[in-house]
């Protein structure tokens, strides 16, 4: 039962000092009475985010664990942060429901119960808070970014499968077995493409994927932040992931070694 095992939240952050206190407070309010742990993975914040989480984690009765990392390559390493948190959650907790969230308040903690309930009632193995199902709302996002998101989403669905509408939203709920499946396979991408790679893995392995409506709140997402080079790399990665989904499959890892974990971490150094 959930009351026995609880919820594990994977929370990658970078320079979120303006949002982290409110986010953690809202998570605490939503999960009163439920065992849970929030694993914050900080990728080298310079604004005091990690120090605040460290201070908060020292309080009696806290639900926090902090992994501090230093990026060694350019670009978001959100994927490798999630991968690091996932492995820690599997090794250090008994939680049966895993939840991925963004650290910038784009995902509403008030939707936690809805996603948890879907997994708890065994309606599916993975539940995505999808921007593209009936009833969903996207606010504070420029039209240009909306267009790019829609176009990229359609392209990914065309190349992989139309069984899922939203490959890119990082607000996800899944079973411990789904988390173990990720840990048991070689993950190639530490960038945000990780989200698509993992979803393709789950689909290939026959997991039941569900989507539910959400309110997504855009945060400083101007189209000027998109780089052609990054989009090109993402396109190449999607084709590579598609080839594994349709043809070659995903390579299993029999024993997770420090070398394989470092490779999947995608250019970061950890200090737990």
Report whether pLDDT(138) > 80.
yes
Tell me the pLDDT tens digit for each residue of 32-68. Answer: 999 999 999 999 999 999 999 999 999 998 899 999 9
Assign 79 a pLDDT band (cuts: 50, 70, 90): very high
235 or 72, greater pLDDT:
235
Q: What is the 3-state secondary structure (H, E, C) of 17-44?
A: CCCHHHHHHHHHHHCCCCCEEEEEEECC
Mean pLDDT of all residues in 70-91: 92
Mean pLDDT of all residues in 157-172: 96
Using only C-alpha atoms, the chain has a radius of gyration, in whole angstroms, of: 18
Residue 241 and residue 239: Cα distance in Å, rounded? 5
For the chain, give the percent of residues with pLDDT over 90. Answer: 76
User: For residues 40 and 9, is the Cβ–Cβ distance under 8 A?
Assistant: no
Average pLDDT, the chain: 90
DSSP the chain: -HHHH-EEEEEEESS-TTTHHHHHHHHHHHTTTS-EEEEEEES--SSSHHHHHHHHHTSTT--EEEEEEEE-SSS--HHHHHHHHHHHHHHH---SEEEE--SSS-S-GGGHHHHHHHHHTTS-SEEEEETTSTT-EEES--HHHHHHHHHHHHHHHHHS-TT-S-SS---EEEEHHHHHHHHTB-----STTHHHHHHHHHHHTT--EEEEE-EEE--S--GGG--HHHHHHHHHHHHHHHHIIIII---B-SS--HHHHHHHHTSEEEE-
Q: Which two tokens stand for residue 170?
A: 């990082």
What fold, for 2-262?
Answer: Spore Coat Polysaccharide Biosynthesis Protein SpsA; Chain A (3.90.550)
Residue 246 and residue 159: Cα distance in Å, rounded? 10
Assign 232 a pLDDT band (cuts: 50, 70, 90): confident
Residue 50 and residue 73: Cα distance in Å, rounded? 19
Q: What is the pTM of this model?
A: 0.91
Number of residues that this document lists for the chain: 272
């Amino acid at each position: 039962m959930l009351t026995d095992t609880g919820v594990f939240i994977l929370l990658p952050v970078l320079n979120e000092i303006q949002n982290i206190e409110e986010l953690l407070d809202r998570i605490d309010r939503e999960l009163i009475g439920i065992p849970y742990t929030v694993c914050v993975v900080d990728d080298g914040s310079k604004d005091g985010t990690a120090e605040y989480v460290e201070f908060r984690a020292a309080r009696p009765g806290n639900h926090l664990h902090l992994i501090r990392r230093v990026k060694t390559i350019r670009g978001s390493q959100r994927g490798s942060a999630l991968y690091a948190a996932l492995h820690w959650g599997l090794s250090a907790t008994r939680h049966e429901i895993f939840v991925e969230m963004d650290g910038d308040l784009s995902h509403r903690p008030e939707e936690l119960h809805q996603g948890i309930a879907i997994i708890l009632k065994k309606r599916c193995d993975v539940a995505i808070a999808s921007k593209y199902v009936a009833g969903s709302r996207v606010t504070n996002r420029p039209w240009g970014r909306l267009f790019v998101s829609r176009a990229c989403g359609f392209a990914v669905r065309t190349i992989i499968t139309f069984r899922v509408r939203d490959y890119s939203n990082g607000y996800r709920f899944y079973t411990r077995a789904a988390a173990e499946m990720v840990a048991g396979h070689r993950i190639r991408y530490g960038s945000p493409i990780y989200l698509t790679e993992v979803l393709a893995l789950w689909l290939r392995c026959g997991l039941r994927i569900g989507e539910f409506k959400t309110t997504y709140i855009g945060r400083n997402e101007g189209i000027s932040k998109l780089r052609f080079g990054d989009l090109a790399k993402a396109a190449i990665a999607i084709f590579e992931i598609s080839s594994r989904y349709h043809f070659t499959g995903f390579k299993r890892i029999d024993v997770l070694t420090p070398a394989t974990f470092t490779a999947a971490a995608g250019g970061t150094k950890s200090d737990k």
